[in-house]
Structure 1
């Protein structure tokens, strides 16, 4: 139940969600306008494919007590799209609410914020971790060259490191989305701690999802680095 329905949240929480979503969509639009010519030809197909993956993955959900669990893939969107993960998630959430009533209309803002901010934070962890590992590797290789030693298997090692940080990003994105959703419910109150109980059930229901997406995103990152590394910004060093 990361997709919260209408009539559940308080007005201040709904307003905060729309405010965050509006600001981050504006930032994503501003970023896209700063890119050079030909950017759309490369990014729009990628954005479309990842939005479709998010849309489909989130539709398949399993009831668990008072809540339900489903795949998110917001970590994968963060890794592959960077800042554009936010508009991709917004489009997916909007279509799910309008076409399938999966989540409410008034809660589109907060649902997007809960999943989208988590995706952006996971993206930052992935890119930051890869850059840190790359800096250390280059420093080590520089010392080896100065000592006349042979360089080690840098390429395969880089893919492994990226896979580890990709796995971390995948699990972290789902975990944060669940935490943000639980906080949204708790802040909205409810009779005699009802929403607190639902938030706890939500967290427990998504533990298997966190584990699965950790493995899936890490594996996808390693695969993409072998066949199409530009999709992950060359070990997280891209402009996104």
Structure 2
């Protein structure tokens, strides 16, 4: 759900870009060598999933998969998503450089929420049922969280003039949740079968 260029006012742009910059810095500090391949893979997946999109008012509808990425990466999701969003701006003009911070906040903090709420469910020894539940919840938390953050940014910036667009964004993303949930569950089960050690990386504790 990329916010478009020219929508937000300067104070909102500065605030969101500063917050995003701090989050990227923290993510880079937490980037571990063993997570580099996974980070690159999830950044590429996010890039491809959100490339095909349908414009809706000041935003857009597309596959997101930020919840599953956040579940595995934690704070590292911010530098990973930054690269993906930058490439989308450069190659496809999605969003824009000025709203990069706003879009990164929407995608990143909702993904981070999925990480902290669900990471205790993930391990190589977890049951299929638990992994499926985690996959579904990751998709829902990632998308709903991104919607609420995007809606909050729009409302704080423009007040009630964006209410109709916010409502439309929520309704239009209901089918996206279904598809994201299916993909997230498939990723969980595939990793348990082929790369179970990656599931154990999720539950590793990190110091702030």
Q: TM-score scaled by structure 1?
A: 0.78
Q: CA RMSD in A?
A: 2.2
Q: Deviation above 6 Å: which 4+ runs of structure 1?
A: none
Q: 1:91 aligns with which of 83, 101, 116?
A: 83
Output the CA distance in 2 between the equivalents of 1:110 and 1:66: 13
Matched ranges for 1:9-158 at <5 A: 9-32=8-31, 35=32, 39=33, 42-64=34-56, 67-128=59-120, 130=121, 155=125, 158=127
- Give the number of aligned pairs: 206
Q: Does 1:165 align with 2:134?
A: yes
Deviates more, 1:198-207 or 1:80-89: 80-89
1:86-140: per-residue Cα shift (whole Å, max 9, x none)? 1111111111112211001100011001100011101111113x17xx8xxxxxx
* Cα pair 2:50 2:63 within 8 Å, conserved: yes
1:46-66: per-residue Cα shift (whole Å, max 9, x none)? 222211111111110124577
* Cα pair 1:58 1:70 within 8 Å, conserved: yes
The structure having more radius of gyration, on CA atoms, is 1
- Residue 174 of structure 2 corresponds to which residue in structure 1? 207
* Cα pair 1:55 1:92 within 8 Å, conserved: yes
1:233–1:82 Cα change, 3 Å? farther
Q: TM-score scaled by structure 2?
A: 0.89
1:170-218: per-residue Cα shift (whole Å, max 9, x none)? 221011111111111111116xx33111111111111111122122212
Gaps of 5+ in 2: none
Output the CA distance in 1 between the equivalents of 2:199 and 2:83: 21
